[in-house]
Amino acid sequence: MTELCQSLLTLIVGACLLRASSATVLSSGNFMGDFFVMWSPSHVNTSADGQMRSLFLDKDSGAGFESNDMFLFGKFEVQIKLIPGYSAGTVVAFYLASDQPNHDEIDFEFLGNVLGQPYIFQTNVFVDGFGDREDRVVPWFDPTKEFHNYTILWNIYEIVFFVDSIPIRTYRNHVEEGVPYPKSQPMSVKVTIWNGESWATGGGRDKIDWSKAPFVASFAEPHIDACIWEGEPGPCRASDPLNWWNGEGFNSLSTWQRRWFKWVRLHHRVYDYCQDYERFQYHLPRECNLTSY
């Protein structure tokens, strides 16, 4: 009887551990294993070992790929080398999206520019179909010369956008203060390149020069450490050791992260929706008057 009980207990514990472990994923870092091409495979070039991938934009099409799974909270990162030379009108995007009618979305968008002008890194957060939370910074390096790491940390406390481990933007969970926050809709990871000349550069003034096509953006070392959606949000919201991103150590920026964040905001921010009084007719969104970290 004792041996039977022990065997049953072992099976139960094993099943629980299996279920818990299946809720999280540490990606293989392989584009062919973790993603599928969702748009224009003729404009996608992947290395034989799956470690590198390029997307092309020409007059015929852009391209994109998407994660095989959907997630609710986690850490998502990829190395990117952006389009060199004249890139006005082009948009390269690394983002999370739920694809629901009232969709949630967390965006990293890289807006190309004319020669002599820097790239613009635009971030945005959509909740229940509403965005209008754009923030723009210019990089402190040339993002076309070599690969740099871009990370989205999304947990129950906040969303943080990182460039080479430096936080450039936060969006806090202020639901208790009436601020919407993405916390229920699972999202997939997407990477795209497309024609945004109607708005991306100079408000649409500077168009794509197709004589310089194809425009190529390169990607490497994708990593996803996140909670796989299995039908309900509870397991992904839990402060479980497997959901390390929901731990108390990630409920705010650290001291050194705050210093870097302030440095970026002071020296590299070129647009903040929370300072655009005219756009919101002097009624700024509620989160603009609350803490950023």
Comparing CA positions, the residue from 134, 147, 66 lying closest to residue 106 is: 134
Which of 104, 108, 105, 147 is closest to 128 using CA atoms? 104
Q: Which residues contact 213 (CB under 8 A, 6 or more apart)?
A: 57, 58, 59
Q: How far apart are the first and last CA of the chain?
A: 55
Select which of 3, 66, 77, 109 is catalytic.
109
Q: Which of 66, 77, 105, 158 is catalytic?
A: 105
For residue 147, with 0-12 CB atoms within 10 Å meaning exposed, 13-18 middle and 19 or more buried, which class applies?
Answer: middle
- Is 105 catalytic? The answer is yes
What are the tokens at 140? 């402190």
CA distance readout (Å), 256 to 128, 245, 260: 33, 18, 6
- Which of 168, 171, 173 shows the shortest CA–CA distance to 156? 173
Nearest 5 degrees, angle CA 164-CA 167-CA 173? 140
Helix (H, G, I), strand (E, B) or coil at 111: strand
Q: Give the whole-angstrom CA distance, residue 116 versus residue 109.
A: 20
109 is catalytic: yes
Phi and psi, residue 28, nearest 5°: -80, -10
- The catalytic residue positions are 105, 109
